Amino acid sequence: MEDADGHELARIKGNVVHHTYDVVAPDKTVTARVHLNWATVQDEYCIEMIRQDFDPLLVLGYAIAMDHVEHPERSRMASGLNTVAKLLGR
């Protein structure tokens, strides 16, 4: 992940194909953990923010983008809104 100026914000470490990965800052600290909850009918992701100073929307956006790369047939708008609604508790 990079900012608009091209500075690295974080790297992904883990298994992106199995949707189990950490978001690691340039100083090598884990900022967030993402994993797919396999016990549900539809894909549901667990995003655990480790460092509260890192923007959770960046992690959420990355998880949604990776899901859409793997499943391009899904409705991008419906999936993204459903994820945000769950995050907001609605």
Cα dist from 9 to 5, 22, 88, whole Å: 11, 13, 25
- Of 15 and 78, the one with more pLDDT: 15
Q: Is 75 inside a domain boundary? A: yes
The two tokens of residue 45 are 């992701």
Q: What is the pLDDT of residue 9?
A: 92
- Of 25 and 76, the one with more pLDDT: 25
Q: What is the pLDDT of residue 80?
A: 58
Range of the domain at 58: 11-87
Q: Is 54 inside a domain boundary? A: yes
Q: Which of 60, 30, 32 is nearest to 45 (CA)?
A: 60
Rounded to whole angstroms, how far apart are CA atoms 78 and 13? 28
* pLDDT tens-digit series, residues 5-50: 999 999 999 987 777 999 999 999 999 999 887 665 666 788 899 9
Confidence category of residue 83, pLDDT binned at 50, 70, 90: low
Q: Is 27 inside a domain boundary? A: yes
Q: Is 2 inside a domain boundary? A: no
pLDDT higher than threshold 60 for residue 71? yes
Q: Is 5 inside a domain boundary? A: no
Confidence category of residue 65, pLDDT binned at 50, 70, 90: confident
- Count of domains for the chain: 1
Q: Is 42 inside a domain boundary? A: yes
Query: Given its phi and psi angles, is residue 89 left (phi above 0), alpha (psi -120 to 50 degrees) or beta?
Result: left
